[in-house]
Structure 1
Amino acid sequence: MTHDTLPGPCHLCGDTRGDRVNGAWRCARCGWRYGDVPDADLPLPRIDVVYYLRFGERVKIGTSAQPRRRLGAIRHDELLAFEHGGRDLEQQRHRDFAALREGGEWFTLTGDLAAHIASLRTAGEPWDRYARWLAEALRG
């Protein structure tokens, strides 16, 4: 899909791609209405994510409410996906892929786990999805 260029960067995620929706500009990445500015005096809403990090042929399945900070503290080769959810979903994924567990929160990247991650990626790039969840929570 092709997008137009916003008059300036999105005030929420900084992207410059946009679409006209009902006469108003919306950011193509997060869906935030161009021109609206989040209240800097209020904290951003908490968005819990389950993350999937690849390091070699292994995947760490973890959770965080501050994914940028958390991922910055973990050695990894690639962020594969985000899933909207917290500790309960993370523990469910650990049970779902228990047969592939290598130790702790690390799993072999193969079979059902690889298919699950691929299905999450069809919904979009991880940081784009996170930006959209954040915009939805702010609008909510």
Structure 2
Amino acid sequence: MKTTGPLPGPCGLCGARNGVRTTSEGWRCAACGWRYGDVPDPELPLPRIDVVYYVRFDTRVKIGTSRAPRQRLASIRHDELLAFERGGRDVEQRRHREFAAEREGGEWFTLSVPLTAHIRRLQAEGEPWQLYARWLSEALS
């Protein structure tokens, strides 16, 4: 039997407060799937999670990749984080080729109808930081 509701406290991995409780596993974070009460070993490095990020600045979108997205996005001038897509340089380069007609220069692209449609498909998978936390939780399990 599954029960949903607030966790007894914030998730130890992503900080979310909603959870799912089962009789066999107890509480798990609804956002990232981390088992409530588990603590990542602080002496071990976190697993490498490569993401392709889509950030908007005015009417342009930067498609880039990072294994440390919080630090990377802090260094980029942008108005909004639009989406994350799991993958590294190969996925990033594929997207650069896919949207080459919209390229303005470097990794910046015009926010066109095809690019907007792609970003909306990614957004349908979930909020970027929750997706990242879920990928991290899966890698730590």
Regarding TM over 0.5, the answer is yes
Name the counterpart of 2:135.
Answer: 133
Q: Name the CA distance, whole Å, in 1 between partners of 2:9 and 2:99.
A: 44
Please name the residue that 2:30 is paired with: 28
The AA in structure 1 aligned to 2:102 is: L
Partner-residue secondary structure (3-state), 1:91: helix
After superposition, give the CA deviation of every residue in 1:113-133 in whole Å (9 maximum; x if it has no partner): 110000000000000100000
**What's the TM-score, normalizing by structure 1?**
0.95
Other-structure match for 1:5: 6
Moved over 2 A (4+): none
Q: Is the 8 Å Cα contact of residues 85 and 122 (structure 2) preserved in structure 1?
A: yes
Q: Name the structure 2 match of 1:89.
A: 91
Residue in 2 aligned with 1:18? 19
Structure 2, unaligned stretches of length 5 or more? none
Distance 1:95 1:71 in 2: 22
Once the two structures are superposed, residues 7-65 of structure 1 have per-residue CA deviations (whole angstroms, 9 ceiling, x without a partner) of 11111111111111344100011100101111111010000000000000000000000
Unaligned stretches of 5+ residues in structure 1: none
Rounded to whole Å, the distance in 2 between the matches of 1:118 and 1:108 is 15
Partner deviation per Cα, 1:52-90 (whole Å, 9 max, x = no partner): 000000000000000000000000000000000000110
Residues 4 and 21, structure 2, Cα contact 8 Å, conserved in 1? no
* Separation in structure 1 between the aligned mates of residue 99 and residue 76 of structure 2, nearest angstrom: 21
1:54 is matched with which residue?
A: 56
**TM-score normalised by structure 2 residue count:** 0.95
What is the Cα deviation at residue 3 of structure 1?
4.3
Measured on the aligned residues, the alpha-carbon RMSD in Å equals 1.2
